[in-house]
Amino acid sequence: MKFYNTIIRYRFWLSLIGLALAILVTYLSGFWPAFILYFISVIGLFSHFFVGPLRLVQEPMEAGNMEEVERILAGIKFPNLLYKPIRSTYYTLKGNMAMMKQDFDGAEKHLKMSSALGSPMPEAEGANKLQLGMMSLQKGDFKQGESYIRAAIRLGISDKESEAIAYLSMCQIFMNKREFRAAKDYFRKAKACKPTAKQTVDQIKEVEKYISRIPG
């Protein structure tokens, strides 16, 4: 695995060296003796631009090394050349990194670009829509927020914590609209997710104090 990651890390420069050697062999011995060098070099350059180095992101992300993740993403100079699903992942990661820095405008921009491309996994696209919905709610755009969160729920959300947050957000949207029956229904769905994160649990307790006094 480490050897493969090293190849990916230096693939571009190794491909250029291979191409230079292929040209030299062609000059000395002709094209066919150099064919394998041309082939490997072209495949290396193609995969560098078409696939990119996103495989290298997994290890630093698991280690919580966000500076290394950011460095790897910054090394992608031509993201529009990436294969479409990989490009979508690239923009999702850029959006998440921007959110960590509280750059909400940058996060929204990148997440929208990812959403427009779609995702090979509906759950990943659902998480993307949920993030866009939460940002819209923070800006006070409840109509757009509801649209994004509905889309997230429809696509599916991979973890129960995020699903609970989606249902709680819908509950609060419908309470603001004074559609209390729908608000209670979403609140029951949020509780059914049985979230364990303190922030989500505390939010459920706060909403429950208010919603329990609403008739119907």
Among 67-71, 169-173, 211-215, whose mean pLDDT is lowest?
211-215
Average of per-residue pLDDT values in the chain: 89
pLDDT for residue 121? 64
Per the confidence metrics, is the pTM higher than 0.85? Answer: no
Place of tokens 């940058």: 106
Among 24-33, 88-97, 113-122, 195-204, whose mean pLDDT is lowest?
113-122
Q: What mean pLDDT is predicted for residues 159-184? A: 91
pLDDT for residue 4? 80
Q: What mean pLDDT is predicted for residues 10-32? A: 94
